[in-house]
Structure 1
Amino acid sequence: MVWNETQIQLLVKISETGSFTKAGEELHMTQPAVSRIVAAVESELGTKLIVRNKRKGVVFTDVGERILILFRNVLGELQKVDELVAAEKGLEIGKVHIGAYPTACTRFIPKIIRTMEEKHPGLEIKLSEGSVDQVKEWLRTRSVDVGITISPDHDFDIIPLVQDEFIVVIHSNHPLVQNEFIQIPELEGENLILGRGGYEAPVHAIFNEFKMKPKVRFVVDHLDTALSMVKEDLGIIITTRGALSSLPEQVILRELKPNMFRDINIAVPDMNDISNATDVFIQTACSLFSDKTSKRGI
């Protein structure tokens, strides 16, 4: 089968939007035209690429997902051609699709985007926000060009960004509030409110290092939820200093001893195969944040 760019763009756009109609709207096609193209492609291939699921909507089959990875690579290479031709004319164009978990979106992404738009106005920036696991999956499937992730992952090329210091967040009535800092063994038996999104493994590693088991009372998705629970004296949080922008009343933080850190990294599928726009994102992020690193991680 001879593929054309329209077919490739359409299938990738369907995967991004999860909808034939939305994909058609973005590519200026009618829904019937989208359906005809998909049906014709599947007929020529002799296999289903997309199925409809009552709960999930449009879902790609296993072979469809594998083809999507190849198609995203093809579109990436075509983008590089456009960038090269534009550079020859003295222009800078390109697109970068960023994936980041919520705290990273709040802490890093706005400043990076603002700086990129000021210095590189010809670049198009797209952002997808999701959990740490979602960001890693997007990188694996080439759904995003670059991601901000936590902890090293051997599936990707990693560029260290910052190291975040772990701290303890407690109610002002907690007995440990009298301490200038909190020793890790002092946390044994304390009710812990554990946050998802990359905190589970490092927190367990902290306790394991002292041959302790955390007493997890609640597991939550959002830091604001955990802070509200601490305010009601329902437990304590082990989080990172950089994740906190403010604290509710009657909630304080204490430094953890010995100091422990969580690595925050920029990740790409292959550093030798990135676009100019992705390289600009990496260079901008590092220039803004990577000089604020600490010495030790876990």
Structure 2
Amino acid sequence: MHINHMGDNKNDMNRSQIQLIVKISETGSFTKAGEELHMTQPAVSRAVATIESELGTKLIKRNKKNGLFFTDVGERVLIKFRNILGELQKVDELIAAEQGLEIGKVHIGAYPTACKRFIPKIIRTMEDKYPGLEVKISEGSVDQVKEWLRSKCVDVGMIIPPVEDFDIVPLMKDQLIVIMHSSHPLYQKETIGIPDLQDEDILLGRGGYEVQIHSLFKDFKLKPNVRFVIDYIDTALCMVQEGLGITITTKKNILSLPENVVFRELKPNTFREIGIAVPDMKDISKATDVFIQTARTLFANKSD
């Protein structure tokens, strides 16, 4: 495989060298990357030095303040390397299919609730049907999943639309609910509308809730009184339990409620969409397509 740069200069880069650079970015460590690729730390250092010498530029730097980090050009090269590995994976899948084998790799990015609610069942179903399939999961916030998709760190992500950067496959809708302390006066109401919330302290969740909730309030010419902005639902639930405010989330985002924490449905019924995102639907691997189709078979068009 040839990677061309600087006019007529050519550098021979092999698959293992490209895998090493990508693995260092994933682990953030020469030592950990070496362990996963069965290389010693000195061997990793020598290999990186050789790659950088061949390319004529520094990809990775280390200092006491930031530890290991990729240079600006290193970040751009990483995206190209991930694309190359993705294309090589497709070649492997084509050859395996020709030989009657089913193999493949898919790296999934998902926010915590998706990891709990959807991913385990999807993986179990996939592995039962395709035992040779290799699955990797990265768990993070919705914003982190979007960034992983942009940088090609993951093949597919479960996110909250709308997002213009990716191709989205709709998966399901999840109903919005209002969560409060059991002593809160709103709990005495059978239904809760946005006007009921105009004077309430709102614990606003990140990861797609911000735009939708502000839009719902705007429909009534109101603004939410946002007291805190929260990354994770467990944090919001603990704050509700302490009487610090109410939060708006979805039914499927809640595995269980803490003591004295209750919910009411938001009326009229309002839903949040959950989607599966890929950088380009025309350029996905068979393993990624298996993930998407499995997820849709198990969960598509289902809502509470």
TM-score range, shorter chain: over 0.9
Aligned to 2:157: 147
Residues 255-270 of structure 1 mapped to structure 2, 5 A cutoff: 255-270=265-280
Aligned to 2:286: 276
After superposition, the C-alpha distances for 1:10-59 in whole angstroms (9 at most, x for unaligned) are 11111111111111111111111111121122122221111114344221
Aligned to 2:41: 31
Q: 199-208 vs 31-40, which deviates more?
A: 199-208
After superposition, the C-alpha distances for 1:124-158 in whole angstroms (9 at most, x for unaligned) are 00000011111111111111000001112121111
Pairwise CA distance, 1:283: 0.5
Aligned to 1:204: 214
Cα distance in 2 between the residues matched to 1:189 and 1:101: 30
Amino acid of the structure 2 residue aligned with 1:114: R
Q: 136-145 vs 212-221, which deviates more?
A: 212-221
Q: Is 2:121 aligned against 1:129? A: no
The SS at the match of 2:170 is strand
Q: 261-270 vs 197-206, which deviates more?
A: 197-206
Cα distance in 1 between the residues matched to 2:209 and 2:192: 19
Kept in 1: contact 2:110–2:157 (CA 8 A): yes
For residue 2 of structure 1, the aligned residue among 4, 8, 12 is 12
Pairwise CA distance, 1:293: 4.6
Q: How many residues align?
A: 294
Aligned to 2:252: 242
Cα distance in 2 between the residues matched to 1:292 and 1:129: 23
Q: Is 2:116 aligned against 1:106? A: yes
Cα distance in 1 between the residues matched to 2:199 and 2:99: 66
Kept in 2: contact 1:164–1:242 (CA 8 A): yes
The SS at the match of 1:67 is helix
Cα distance in 1 between the residues matched to 2:278 and 2:70: 23
Aligned to 1:97: 107
For residue 168 of structure 2, the aligned residue among 126, 143, 158 is 158
For residue 63 of structure 1, the aligned residue among 60, 73, 76 is 73
Q: 132-141 vs 47-56, which deviates more?
A: 47-56
Kept in 1: contact 2:173–2:301 (CA 8 A): no
Kept in 1: contact 2:141–2:231 (CA 8 A): no
Cα distance in 1 between the residues matched to 2:146 and 2:106: 16
Q: Unpaired segments of 5 or more residues in structure 1? A: none
Aligned to 1:179: 189
Aligned to 1:118: 128
- Cα gap change, 1:293 to 1:251, in 2 (>3 Å): closer
Aligned to 1:253: 263
Kept in 2: contact 1:161–1:293 (CA 8 A): no
Q: 275-284 vs 206-215, which deviates more?
A: 206-215
Kept in 1: contact 2:161–2:273 (CA 8 A): yes
Kept in 1: contact 2:175–2:303 (CA 8 A): no
Pairwise CA distance, 1:240: 0.8
Cα distance in 2 between the residues matched to 1:232 and 1:293: 30
After superposition, the C-alpha distances for 1:146-205 in whole angstroms (9 at most, x for unaligned) are 000111212111100111111101122211112111011110010111222332222222
Aligned to 2:3: none
Q: Unpaired segments of 5 or more residues in structure 2? A: 1-10
- Cα gap change, 1:54 to 1:196, in 2 (>3 Å): farther
Kept in 1: contact 2:174–2:252 (CA 8 A): yes
- Cα gap change, 1:73 to 1:103, in 2 (>3 Å): same
Q: CA RMSD in A?
A: 1.4
**TM-score, normalising length: structure 2:** 0.93
Pairwise CA distance, 1:291: 2.6
**TM-score, normalising length: structure 1:** 0.95
For residue 51 of structure 2, the aligned residue among 20, 41, 45 is 41
Identity of aligned residues (%): 71
